[in-house]
Amino acid sequence: EPPRYDVVVIGSGGAGLAAAIQASDRDTKVLIVEKMSSIGGNTIKASVGMNAAGTRFQKMKGIDDCKEKFYQESLKGGQGLNNPELLRSFVDNAPEAVEWLADRGIVLNDITITGGMSIDRTHRPADRSAVGGFLISGLVRNISQRDIDVMLDTDVIDILMENGAVSGLRVKNEENEILTIYAKSIVVATGGFSANQEMVVKYRPELKDFVTTNHKGATGSGIALLENIGAGTVDMGEIQIHPTVEQTTSYLISEAIRGGGAILVSQKGERFFNEMETRDKVSAAIIGLPEHYAYIVFDEQVRLNNKAADEYIGRGFVVSADSPRQLADKLNMDMHAFLATLERYNVFVEKQNDEDFGRKTALRHPIHEGPFYAIQIAPGVHHTMGGVTVNTNTEVLDVNNQVIPGVFAAGEVVGGIHGGNRIGGNAVADIIIFGTMAGRNAANLARCS
Residues that bind ligand ADP (CB under 6 A): 10-16, 33-36, 41-43, 155-156, 189-191, 217-218, 221-222, 411-412, 431
Q: Are 294 and 377 in contact (CB under 8 A)?
A: yes
Q: Would you say 335 and 328 are in contact if contact means Cβ atoms under 8 Å apart?
A: yes
The DSSP result for 223-280, as a single string, is HHHHHHTTB-EE-TT-EEEEEEEETTTTEEPPHHHHHTT-EEE-TTS---S-TTS-HH
Rounded to 5 degrees, φ, ψ at 372 are -110, 145
Q: Which is nearer to ligand ADP, 16 or 259 (CB)?
A: 16
The rounded distance, in Å, linking the Cα atoms of 346 and 302 is 14
What H or E segment, with its residue span, contains residue 96?
helix 84-103
Rank residues 10 and 111 by Cβ distance to ligand ADP and give the closer one: 10
Smallest gap, in angstroms, from Cβ of residue 427 to ligand ADP?
A: 6
Pick 58 or 240: Cβ nearer ligand ADP: 240
Give the CA dihedral 219, 172, 142, 57, nearest 10 degrees: 10
Ranked by CB distance to ligand ADP, the top (closest) residue is 13
Least distance to ligand ADP, CB of residue 7, Å: 15
d(CA 334, CA 330): 11
Catalytic entry in 121, 258, 271, 279: 279
Tell me how far, at minimum, the Cβ of 199 lies from ligand ADP, in Å.
Answer: 13
Distance of closest approach, residue 313 Cβ to ligand ADP, in angstroms: 26
CB of 157 to ligand ADP, least distance (A): 7
Question: Which neighbouring-strand residues pair with 265?
Answer: 295
Q: Is 279 annotated as catalytic?
A: yes
Spatial separation of the C-alpha atoms in residues 376 and 341, rounded to whole Å: 17
User: Nearest 5°: CA angle at 295, between 291 and 300?
Assistant: 170
Nearer to ligand ADP among residue 73 and residue 412 (C-beta)? 412
Per the DSSP assignment, residues forming a β-bridge with 373 are: 298, 320
Neighbour count for residue 27 (Cβ, 10 Å): 10
Q: How far apart are CA 307 and CA 312, in angstroms?
A: 9
**Closer of 324 and 411 to ligand ADP (Cβ):** 411
CB of 193: closest distance to ligand ADP in angstroms?
Answer: 10
Closer Cβ to ligand ADP, 31 or 91, answer by number: 31
Active site residues: 279
